[in-house]
Structure formats: structure tokens, C-alpha cells
Structure 1
Amino acid sequence: MKHGLPIARPGQVIGLLGGSFDPAHAGHAHITREALKRLGLDRVWWLVSPGNPLKTHGPAPLAQRIAQARAVMDHPRVAITDIEARLGTRYTARTIAALRRRYPGVRFVWLMGADNLAQFHRWQDWRDIMDTVPVAVLARPGDRTAARTSVAATIYRAAKVSAADAYGLGRRSAPAWAFLNVPMHTASSTAIRRNGGWA
């Protein structure tokens, strides 16, 4: 880390997994390891957000969520960060634009669960994200059909890369996206909060 930001060299391919991580859990760690393996990423950065603009209730304090994330995901090629708080960005499109300015020559891949693809068209400037960086969608339980028939999947159908060709996704020019069926993990932040998992 340099000035609280992770270090990356030009030419590296970095996966970005954003979210409130409220709380981080084994499912997040699971899709991160799958992304490293299936996409040929050099590293993955977790972007623990100050708050989710699509959620009405604020998350647990950022420091608490960062500490929990580090307890859940201990991997030499994964950095747990509060980049959005440091950059002053709140929306993914702006965060990606700021990262590309700050890290010239680094290639980024946006990582998300299939549940997010289903409502991706509600994100601010979502087309800018698709047109700027490759996107990898990692299937989670119960979200495959809604994701595959979503607005984003329909509009960007021609940019879809087969799962067999996803290993080099980060070196492709956007728009390019892949839908990866990964071994299922049922952990959910919502369920953990509902069951009193946050201390």
C-alpha cells in the first residue's frame, strides 16, 4: 500500500470487487478465488464502499467492515481497500474512471455476482462501466436466469465472451463480459445480518 492505496504496475490485470461487504463472508472469498483462477488475474482488490447508493439503510461503520473483510479474505494476491472513501467517489463508474487515471497502464476487470447483473441497468452510468472495462459475472445461487435475461445482458449480447475464453478477459478491449458458472456458495450478507451475524 502507498498512501493507503494498493500498488499496481503497468501491464498488470487487477480484478475489482466492489460492495458494502456488510458483512464480508466466505461467499465473497469464494468468488474472489474463482476469479483469480478462472480469469488469470494478477490481483483482486476489494473495494469496501462507504455506502451503497441503491440501499436505503446505511451499512456498519467502514472500519468495522474493513476489519471483518481482512479476517475473511487473507490471500497474498488480494488487497482489502477503502479506495472509494479515499478517492471521494460513490458510484462505480466514477471509481473506475479515477482508478484508470491514477494507475495508467493497469488493466482493470469489474467483478460482480449474477444478482448484480440482474439490476445492473439501475446503476448510475452503467453503460460507461461496460464500455470502459471488461466485466466478469460470477454466478450465485438463484440468480442465473434473471441475470442472463437482464437489460445489460441483452444490450451487450454481442460483447459476451464464452466461459472457455474468459481466462484472458482482462486483456480484451471493452465492451467484453463473461458469465462464469462457479461452484456454488450460499453465504449472503443479508442473511447473516438477518440472523444476527454482526456483533
Structure 2
Amino acid sequence: MKKTIGLLGGSFNPAHHGHVHITLTALKCFNLDEIWWVMSPGNPLKEYYPEPMEKRIAEAKRIMCHPRVRITDIESKLSSPYTACTLAYITTSFPRNQFVWLMGADNLEQIHKWKDWRSILSKVPIGILARPDNQLAPLKARAARIYRSSRVPNWQSRTLARSPAPRWCYAILPMSHLSSTKIRSA
């Protein structure tokens, strides 16, 4: 049977205990074998420049010590910073695994702005993790409306990883109020 792996993308600038919390929660909620943190060299939709990759990876490895979590720099080795390209590379390079893209609910509200966003939803199931600030607004997002019929109910979240794309699940989990943006601005 294929191993189920969650892919949590982000700049992790800086990595913090909120990331650890959602990672450990997603392992259980979506019944995943592993989670890979996909460290991004930079977010094309944001105008700030993150700390150097080596520094962010070292901090992520320090804070996220778990045998089922891998910190990766896969995206920095690709010629593109776009999730669609990263997923195409990962799913082709690791065909013996079943992947789930993990993201915060704030990204569901803006995923329609991502390059080739529909190909992301058609490539792998998406596990969406509620954020503490607004739990209902993401469900009104453009992508949520377009892919309404592909939604897996929260109570079936453990089946998401074995579901064919396009499938997505909006998981309302115990919350952490930590945020990289808030930490950087402090």
C-alpha cells in the first residue's frame, strides 16, 4: 500500500510552535504516515524577503523533531517557486506515495490567485486547516464554491489521503494563535 504523505508548504519564516501544532494535528486528522515541510525560497504573492534558506531549515529542524516529519528544501532546487510545479515534481519523483497538500484556511481564500491553481486541486487532495481568526469565511472562497461537490466532510477527514483528486477537507482543529507574520513584526 502507498505511504500517505502530507505536504505542508511555506516559507516558515520563522518556523514556530504553531507549525508544530498543525503538523501533529494533521498527522492524526488526515490519517497520514508522514508530513514533509516543503520550505519555499519565497512566496511569489508576498513582497518580503525571507531569511536565508539554510537558517530557516536549521530552525525548522530544531523546532520540529518528530520521526514522521521531514524538513525539505525540494522547492529551492526547482526552477519555479510555484506550488503547481512543486507538486508535479514531487508526484512524479515519488510515485509510490500518495500525497495530500496541506494549507491554512487563509490560503483557501486566495488560492485562485496562485499560478495554475486548478491543476493543484486536480493533482492531489487538499487538507485545509482552519485558522483561529475566521473559521467560516474560507468556506465562501471562490475555490470552495467551485469545488463544493469535491468537499470531504470534516467527520470523514481520515479518508482524505486515500481519496482521488479533486478532493478537499476543511478541518476545524484545536487552534494555535501563533503566526510567522506576527512573530516577524514583534
Distance 1:159 1:107 in 2: 18
Mark the runs of 5 or more structure 1 residues left unpaired by the alignment. Answer: 1-9
Distance 1:192 1:138 in 2: 20
Report the CA distance between 1:100 and its aligned residue: 1.0
Distance 1:104 1:148 in 2: 31
- AA aligned to 1:104 is P
Report the counterpart of residue 17 of structure 1 in structure 2: 8
Equivalent position to 1:46, from 24, 37, 41: 37
Residue 73, structure 1, aligned to residue 64, structure 2: yes
Report the CA distance between 1:185 and its aligned residue: 0.3
Deviations 1:92-144 (A, max 9, x none): 00000001111113110000011111111111111101111000101011132
Local SS of the residue matching 1:144: coil
Report the counterpart of residue 117 of structure 1 in structure 2: 108
Percent sequence identity over matched residues?
A: 51
Distance 1:123 1:146 in 2: 19
User: Mapping of 1:79-94 within 5 angstroms?
Assistant: 79-94=70-85
Deviations 1:64-117 (A, max 9, x none): 111111111110000011010123331000000001111113110000011111
Moved beyond 3 Å, runs of 4+: none
Equivalent position to 1:169, from 157, 160, 166: 160
Local SS of the residue matching 2:80: coil
Report the counterpart of residue 98 of structure 1 in structure 2: 89
Distance 1:142 1:15 in 2: 23
Distance 2:145 2:138 in 1: 10
Distance 2:156 2:45 in 1: 32
Distance 1:124 1:144 in 2: 25
- AA aligned to 2:104 is G
Report the CA distance between 1:58 and its aligned residue: 1.1
Distance 2:104 2:43 in 1: 15
- AA aligned to 2:92 is R
Report the counterpart of residue 57 of structure 1 in structure 2: 48
Aligned-residue CA RMSD in angstroms? Answer: 1.0
- The normalised TM-score by structure 1 is 0.91
Pairs aligned (count) = 186
Mark the runs of 5 or more structure 2 residues left unpaired by the alignment. Answer: none
Distance 2:12 2:79 in 1: 18
Report the counterpart of residue 4 of structure 1 in structure 2: none
Distance 1:47 1:143 in 2: 25
User: Mapping of 1:2-13 within 5 angstroms?
Assistant: 11-13=2-4
Distance 1:45 1:143 in 2: 26
Report the counterpart of residue 134 of structure 1 in structure 2: 125
